Amino acid sequence: MRLARIDTTWLRFAFHNALRNRRRSLVTVSVAAIGTAALLLAGGFAYSTYEGLAQAAARSSGHLIVGTSAHFDKEEDTPLQYGLSEVAQLEKHILSDAAVRYVLPRVDFSGLISNGDKSTIMLGVGIDANAEFAVKGPFLKVVAGKILEDQKSAEIVLGEALARSLKAAPGSNLTLMVSTTEGALNAIDVNVSGIVTTGVPDIDKRLVYTDIRTAQSLLHTDKVSSLGVFLSDMNATPMAQQQLQKQLSGLTIQTWEDQAFFYKSVRELYNRIFGALGLIISLIVVFVVANAMAMAIIERTRETGSLRAMGTLPAELIRSFSYEGMFLGGSGALLGAAMALAVALLLTMFPVQMPPPPGRSTGYPLMISLDLSMYVLTISGMILLSMLSSALIARRTLQQSVVDALSHT
């Protein structure tokens, strides 16, 4: 009980001391607030970028990708050499898992696309048109026409840059030419249903979507390249992979992250950038708080000498000054968190469009993610840094003798 009473007394003492020089305290709190807000906004922007890249990668391939081991590890000599057979039974088996939302087959193929006067290379994808475009959501934008709907006729959707190269528009007739699974050449006339953009010009230059039946007919096969498994919860990906791998022991199951090379590269880059930024801001806050506390301690040298002469222990004074740092740093951290939260909410009400990043043709809205653990960690770290810096300054100042402290001017 006596220790608790002493701690409460020193807390009140430190609180009143923090208010003695309000101008200096206001500057210290302001710097801590700006530092905290900068860390939270930078971290929130990084998290938002990670989430956007992760969603784009997962919606492109599926949270899980099911295929033969050779499909992932070897180069095919002929199309669908390592493809999947008996897909209907496989889809039904995977869909029996409650965590699975969609199972979408894909047929990857390449060849030439021609308008009669000009031919160019294409990278085609045979898809389940009823669900594929739905899962892509905002990461695939329809520029003209419509997405695939009528599977009774041979229709395609073109990437924007490819359509521009072929001078094609919705309703145009084109020809697809590929090598079949037997190594022979095959061609089919198709009608352009729509034009889309992924936001990546290099992909839009070659992209062709068609329904899976047209792709299989073109290649003379009933196989598919792989199955994209979409889950109800992205965080359940590792567990779902383990469960499916046990059930489908003859197949290989990769996660979206195994194929998301761009995502991993950007994440590593941002980790270094924001890590260095966070370290710099933290050091600035520590030095400013330490400078303010050093001024406060030096100005009260005679006061601390008097307290020590009356029997106050140096450890108690160090504790008092660390409490002052806690009040100043904590106030600044809470104010900075409120500022960061306000900015994040304002961006949802008044969107700000960011310019296109390198390698993309479309911009994206500036978003700041609100992560509770990041806020708690940042606020706690700011308080701890303020307390430690205050305690270290106080410890060095209190090393002088009581006589010297009392004679300080």
* pLDDT > 90 fraction of the chain, expressed in percent and rounded: 31
Q: What is the mean pLDDT of the chain?
A: 85
Percent of the chain with pLDDT over 70: 95
Q: What is the mean pLDDT of residues 356-374?
A: 81
Residue among 178, 207, 209, 212 at smallest CA distance from 105: 212
What band does 218 get if pLDDT is binned at 50, 70 and 90? very high
Q: Taking the model in full, what pTM does it have?
A: 0.77
Which residue type is seen at 225? S
Q: What is the spatial distance between Cα 259 and Cα 398, in angstroms, rounded to a whole number?
A: 59
Question: What tokens does 186 get?
Answer: 């095959």
Residue 169 pLDDT: 92
- Sequence length of the chain is 409
More confident residue, 380 or 325: 380
Of residues 300 and 50, more confidently modeled? 50
pLDDT of 1 strictly over 70: no
Confidence bin at 375 (pLDDT 50/70/90):
very high
pLDDT digits (tens, 9 = 90+) for 24-79: 788 888 888 888 898 899 889 888 888 888 888 888 889 999 999 888 888 888 88
Residue with the larger pLDDT of the pair 85 and 359: 85
Q: Between 337 and 388, name the one with better pLDDT.
A: 337
Tens digits of residue pLDDT in 105-160: 999 999 999 998 899 999 999 998 878 888 887 888 889 988 887 566 789 999 99
- Asked if residue 325 has pLDDT above 70, the reply is yes
How buried is residue 152: exposed, middle or buried, by Cβ count under 10 Å (0-12/13-18/19+)? exposed
**Low-confidence winner among 32-36, 176-180, 223-227, 337-341 (lowest mean pLDDT):** 32-36
| Dmax (CA) of the chain | 100
Domain extent listing, the chain: 2-56+263-406, 69-250
pLDDT confidence of residue 87: 87
What's the pLDDT at 2? 44
Q: Distance between CA 178 and CA 185 in Å, rounded?
A: 6
In contact, 336 and 36? CB cutoff 8 Å: yes
- 350 half-sphere exposure, CB direction, 13 A CA radius: 3
Query: Alpha-carbon dihedral of residues 274, 280, 283, 289, nearest 10 degrees?
Result: -90
pLDDT band at 183 (very low <50, low <70, confident <90, very high): confident
CA separation for the pair 344, 209 (Å, rounded): 37
Q: Which residues contact 197 (CB under 8 A, 6 or more apart)?
A: 140, 141, 143, 159, 160, 204, 361, 362
Per-residue confidence band for 271, with pLDDT thresholds at 50, 70 and 90: confident
Instruction: Give the pLDDT of residue 66.
Output: 93
* Per-residue confidence band for 4, with pLDDT thresholds at 50, 70 and 90: very low
Q: Answer positive or negative: Cα dihedral of 70, 72, 77, 80.
A: positive
In this predicted structure, what is the pLDDT of residue 381? 87
Rounded CA-CA distance 259/237 in Å is 14
Q: State the pLDDT confidence band at 353, using cuts at 50, 70 and 90.
A: confident
Q: Report whether 66 contacts 104 (CB < 8 A).
A: no
What are the pLDDT digits (tens) for 149-165?
756 678 999 999 999 99
pLDDT at 14: 72
